[in-house]
Structure formats: C-alpha cells, structure tokens
Amino acid sequence: MADSIEFTVSRRGMIVGGAATAMAASAPAEAQTRKSTMPADPPAMPVTLKVNGKAHALSLDPRTTLLDTLREHLHLTGTKKGCDHGQCGACTVLVNGQRINSCLSLALQHDGDSITTIEGLGTPDKLHPMQAAFVRHDGYQCGYCTPGQICSAVAVLDEIKRGVPSHVQADLNARPQASGIEMRERMSGNICRCGAYSNIADAMAEVAGAKA
Amino acid sequence: MKPFTYERARDAVAAARAATRPGAKFLAGGTNLLDLMKIEVETPTHLIDVQDLKLDRIEKTREGGLRIGAFVTNTALAADERVRRDYGVLSRAIVAGASGQLRNKATTAGNLLQRTRCPYFYDTNMACNKRKPGSGCSAIGGYSRQLAVVGSSDHCIATNPSDMNVAMRVLDAVVETVNPEGRTRAIPIAAFHRLPGNTPHIETTLEPGELITAVTLPRPVGGTHVYEKVRDRASYAFALVSVAAVVQKDGSGRVAVGGVAHKPWRVEAAEAAMPNGAKAVTATLLADARPTRDNEFKVPLVERTLAAAISQARTA
C-alpha cells in the first residue's frame, strides 16, 4: 500500500500527500519517530482456494482472513461479516465439508482447501433444500445472519448423520437424533438478532424429516 | 492486525527452531490467536503454521492409553469412539464449550494454551499484568463476577477459560513436547499451567520455542464420567463454575473444577472425602479461596455443582 501511494502521481494524491506533510510537520517528535519505524506491509503470499467448485489463485497480505478474501477479493458477498470475532456465526462457511467461522481463519491456512459459501449451496433457480425450507418457514427477517444460518444448518444435519456428539446428548455412545433440542444446541453459534430461531428450527426439522 | 510474516513448518523441530525468533508464534486453529490479534492484544511478527506436521491422529499408547495429536480438532477428539467410551468426561467437557464452528477449527494444543477471557485482558485501555507486565490489574477492584476465587494473586485474578483443560486435569493427561534442539519431554498436566503469582503473563511451563506435539491419556480409570457446567445461558458461554468428575461405584473418585482459578483446579487431598459428599470435598478444595464481593457466589456454587455431579454419577 505504501508503495502505491509513493508512485502514483495524481491530483488527489498530491493533495493527500501535501496534507500529510503539513500534519507531520506539526506532530510531536515521538509520533514522527514511530511513523518512520513502523514496519512495512508484509509481502503478499500466494494461495489457491477452490471456492464453490472453482479454483482461484490469489496473492494476499498474510493478514487477510478467509472472510475478507471471499467478500473483498472474490466478491462473494453472500457470506456476511457480523462481529468479526467468531461470536455471531454470520460468516459461517463450509471448508472441506465442515463449518467454520471464516472470520477467525487466515486465507493462507486454507491453501488447496475446498470452500462452499451460500452462493455455492444453491442458486435462485435451483435452491438447496435448506434454502427452500428457510423460505417456506420464514426462517429470517432482516436476512443478515441467514447465509451463515443456512451453511451452519446444512453442516449440523451432516454432523448428526456422522454421529458427532453434542452437549444435550443423554448417551454419548448412542447415535444422535435430529431432534429439536439437538438442532437448537448445535445451532447456538449462530445468533439471529431478529429472533427467527423458532422458524429456523422448523425449517431444519423439515429438511431432517423430524419434529422441531 | 499488526503486520506479520507467515510460514508453514515442514517438521516439528524446524517449527520449534523457527519459534525462537523474537515475536514468533505457532498458529494452529487460530480461533483464539486471530481473535486477539485483531484487537492487538497479541502482536506476533511471524506465524508458524503447524497444520502440515501430521499431528492430527489419535492412537493407542503401549500403556493402554491414548495419544492425541496436538492438531486434533476439538470436534474430532470429542467424537472419537474410544474417547466417548473410556474418557467420557473429556468428550462431555469439549461439547460443553464454544460452538460447533469453533470446535471444528480449534485444536487440542490450542485449547491447552487458550488465553483468559478476563475483560480487562481484552480491553487495551485497562491495566493488565498479563497483557502488559507491570501495568497493574484493573480486574482487582473492578467487575470480577467471572474471575478467580482461588489461587489468584495481588497481580492477577484471571481464570483459565477452557472446559477441555478441566477434563484433561481430572484424567491426569500428559503434555508431550519437542524443543528447538529436538529434545522431547513429557509434562504432567498438573505441572503445565501456572498460577499467576507475580508473573501472570507466564501461563505455562513451556520454554521458548517448545512445541506441543501430543497429549497422552493414561489407561482408562473406569467409573462414571460427568462434566457439569454452570453458565449464564444454556449454550455457547464460558463457565461460571464447572466440575469434571470421575466417580467409582464405591463413591470414591476424582474431581477438577473450572471457572475458579488461573488453571484447572484440582486438590488431590480433597478427593479422600468424595464418599462423604460435596460439602466435605469443597471444604478442602476451596480452603484457600479468596473471592471478591462480585464472585463470592462461586464458592457455594462449586459445592452445589459438585453435589449435582455426584448425584448424576450415582443415578447413571
């Protein structure tokens, strides 16, 4: 970033540069020293991601999260940035079939991984069964948490099928059932500020062929 | 986030050697580290990603226990058939923590090294001896409802937030490491996490560059395994108090408590009183408790949670 400012000569660049110089002139000496010793941006690194079936070769600042890569570099804005701290679940995507918070992962950690976002689950013409069930059961209001909710819901049913245990399971050694209480517990990492939870549970129950 | 460089280590000793570089840190799942890097509580200048070190397997040990690779995810560990059958308290503790998404990413070693959730550690405008040694502790005299009641010091009253660690402590797990010279060692979990004392920023007995490669569990001890967690909501919240217990048919057993100290809290001497019930055990377990006005409720809560755990074990 620093480089591009130095070498781009434009009217806007000149004005910005001029203002910065003026500010620096009046800033205390300590701030100037800190500025000059500030580490430069680290070199970009190559990473290849397979997103919704399509391979992308990218060159990224190591700080770039998987979430920002999807939204800002691949322009797949279906995945949402809510809290950006792994607390709300709006950024949930599937990595090699498993759901994770894409905000708490660096893109570089996922070199060669297969990522499925809400755009890859279904299309407006051919909805994924979970997307269709959310529509049918009115499983959202504002819709901001919905892509994360749907990705998570798809993964939850798969986790139940694979026998991944949960906190509400009475017998750890029995196979978990797609019951209402199981699905609610497993969805606790997805927050819906509008409070569409009961409709989300209904949508999931329909897809699982169970009772909410 | 502050700038950093990134590498993927190809073998464990090379990773440990790379970690001796000032400002370097290991990166496993990243669910805790990246969160703290975003708010610049953690400011590593170099990350060593350990995902290619093939530390993602769970295998039997010659002694009849299990060796859990450092990179095994929380989900994989809780779901392992042998863990569910023989070390139920560990599965129970793991699924009582975090969310499904986080457990898919968080690793065994990362969970061992999870930083405190003390709000004063997170808030960079507050004094915190753990974040900035020597700066003081805003939590003491501050809002301390979530914080430690035992083993704390005048420098820090933070708690260890992990559920997994409480189960590891009750199971006498052993942490296996390799250092930059290639030497390995085995650290009993009791000697792994430190009390804050006057160096709360030093949380474990790991040495610079030392890499966790595995956690081993001894032979199964039988009994009924219970993890009882009390929190402010039914799911996806840190413990106010949690109890990991393994109770045998004759009423004897072992117990470790979470949410009360800088490390998973276990006092072996207290366990002799297990057949006499929760009150007797807690009296010894929390004999040195120094709660604050905000968290004095945790002392009776430990006793009641332990009573619930013992009763659950008896009816199981």
B-facing residues of A in 51-70 (CB < 8 A) are 62-63, 65
Flag whether pLDDT at B14 surpasses 60: yes
Chain A, nearest residue to B96 by Cα: A167
- Start-to-end CA distance of chain B, whole Å, equals 49
What pLDDT was estimated at residue A37?
A: 59
Which residue matches tokens 């009924």? Answer: B224
- Which of B:210-239 have CB within 8 Å of A? 234-236
The pLDDT of residue A34 is above 90: no
- Range in A24-38, A140-154, B109-123, B221-235 with the lowest mean pLDDT: A24-38
- Chain A nearest-CA residue for B44: A63
Distance CA B278, CA B274 (A): 7
SS3 (DSSP) at B128: strand
* Mean pLDDT lowest among A41-45, A196-200, B234-238, B287-291: A41-45
pLDDT, average across residues A134-161: 98
Would you say residue B276 lies in a domain?
Answer: yes
pLDDT bin (cut points 50, 70, 90) of residue A82 is very high
Tell me whether residues A104 and B35 touch, CB distance under 8 A: yes
Tell whether ipTM is more than 0.95. Answer: yes
Is residue B85 assigned to a domain?
no
* CATH code of the domain covering residue B238: 3.30.390.50
* A186 reaches B (C-beta below 8 A): yes
* B110 close contact with A: CB closer than 8 A: no
Residue B160 lies in a domain: no
Taking residues A78-104, report their average pLDDT: 98
Position B10 pLDDT exceeds 60:
yes
Residue B45: half-sphere exposure toward Cβ, Cα within 13 Å: 7
Mean confidence (pLDDT) of chain B: 98
pLDDT tops 60 at residue A194 = yes
Q: Which residues, at least 6 apart from B164, have a Cβ–Cβ distance to it below 8 Å?
A: B74, B77, B90, B93, B94, B97, B108, B111, B112
Q: Which of A105, A108, A165 sits opposite B6 (nearest CB)?
A: A108
Separation CA B122–CA B36 (nearest Å): 8
pLDDT at site A22: 41
> How many domains is chain B built from?
2
- Residue carrying structure tokens 């709660």: B291
Residue A136: predicted pLDDT: 98
pLDDT at residue B164 greater than cutoff 90: yes
Q: Which of A157, A180, A159 is nearest to A168 (CA)?
A: A180
Tell me the per-residue pLDDT of B63-85, one tens digit each, with 9 for 90 and over: 999 999 999 999 999 999 999 99
Q: From the CA of B307, how many Å to the nearest CA of chain A?
A: 19
Predicted confidence (pLDDT) at residue A84 exceeds the cutoff of 50:
yes
Q: Which of B27, B68, B78, B76 is nearest to B51 (CA)?
A: B27
The H helix count followed by the E strand count for chain B is 11, 11
Q: Which domain holds residue B257?
A: 224-315
Q: Across residues B128-139, what is the average pLDDT?
A: 98
Is B105 part of a structural domain of the chain? Answer: no
pLDDT band at A18 (very low <50, low <70, confident <90, very high): very low
Strands, E assignment, chain B: 5-8, 24-27, 46-49, 58-60, 66-69, 174-178, 184-188, 211-217, 224-230, 241-247, 253-258
Q: What's the whole-number mean pLDDT along residues A182-199?
A: 97
The token pair that represents B252 in the structure block: 């004897």
Contact B38 A173 (CB under 8 A): no
Q: Is residue B147 part of a domain?
A: no
The per-residue pLDDT for range B20-35, each reduced to its tens digit, is: 999 999 999 999 999 9
B29, part of any domain: yes
Residue A3 in this model has a pLDDT that exceeds 70: no
Structural domain contains residue B11: yes
B308 inside domain:
yes
Beta-bridge partners for A50: A55, A114
Judge contact between A50 and B13, C-beta under 8 A: no
Q: What's the confidence (pLDDT) of residue A30?
A: 45
Give contacts of A 8-37 with B, CB under 8 A: none
What is the pLDDT of chain A when averaged over all its residues? 87
